[in-house]
């Protein structure tokens, strides 16, 4: 059982950073992103990830830039991942009713446009979060991963740790980062 995230051509590094943080927090293994607007190393015309998200705290997440020539959908299928388009699409399933695939690749669109038609066609499932307005990209990632967590608990796939253990782990991480 695994969750991975693909961001299509994200515009803002802070949203890639927020996604990595969400992935680490909720136990998703991988964050892939396409496009040339954000880079891991910085460079001309690209924006580097915020310092916090480059820190070793999130080393449990495999963050990868995906070459535009790589066909991510065949890659996903080879890895046995079901691509799920997360987008405000009229025919999409609603998140509260959504049964998450065992091994999911959640695909999100850019802040300034949303998912293109071809990407949507490459996805096997489509889900929308019934909000009054479109959410910030990083927020949308958090909502989907939280929904997955709650449902995995309901079906007995995972157990949620007692609160004191959750706090201990958080404190250990802050300690490691020198933030306390
Ligand atoms: C800020 S939104 C894109 C902008 C939006 N399509 C527009 O032009 O108004 C960035 C991405 O977040 C995700 N997203 C945000 N709110 C969502 C919602 N309510 N349901 C599903 N996806 C959402 C989608 O993947 C979307 O492509």
Q: Are 125 and 96 contacting, i.e. CB atoms less than 8 angstroms apart?
A: no
Which ligand 1 atom sits nearest the alpha carbon of residue 135? 16
pLDDT of residue 139: 98
* pLDDT attached to residue 58: 76
Decide: helix, strand or coil at residue 64: strand
pLDDT along the chain (180 residues), means of 10: 93 93 93 91 70 65 84 85 96 98 96 94 96 97 97 90 89 77
pLDDT score for 169: 85
Atom of ligand 1 nearest to the CA of 113: 8
User: What pTM, to 2 d.p., does this model score?
Assistant: 0.92
**pLDDT at residue number 99:** 97
For ligand 1, the distance from its centroid to the CA atom of residue 109, given in whole angstroms, is: 7
């Amino acid at each position: 059982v695994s969750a991975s995230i693909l961001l299509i051509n994200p515009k803002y590094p802070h949203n890639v950073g927020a996604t990595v943080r969400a992935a680490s927090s909720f136990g998703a293994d991988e964050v892939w992103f396409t496009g040339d607007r954000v880079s891991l190393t910085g460079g001309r015309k690209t924006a580097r990830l915020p310092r916090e998200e480059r820190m070793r705290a999130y080393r449990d997440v495999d963050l990868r830039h995906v070459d535009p020539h790589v066909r991510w959908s065949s890659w996903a299928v080879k890895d046995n991942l079901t691509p799920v388009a997360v987008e405000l699409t009229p025919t999409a399933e609603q998140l509260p009713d959504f049964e998450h695939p065992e091994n999911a690749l959640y695909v999100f669109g850019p802040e300034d446009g949303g998912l293109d038609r071809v990407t949507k066609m490459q996805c096997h499932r489509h889900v929308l979060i019934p909000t009054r307005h479109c959410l910030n990209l990083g927020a949308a990632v958090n909502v989907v991963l939280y929904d997955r967590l709650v449902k995995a608990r309901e079906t007995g796939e995972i157990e949620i740790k007692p609160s004191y253990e959750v706090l201990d782990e958080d404190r250990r991480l802050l300690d490691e980062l020198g933030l306390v």
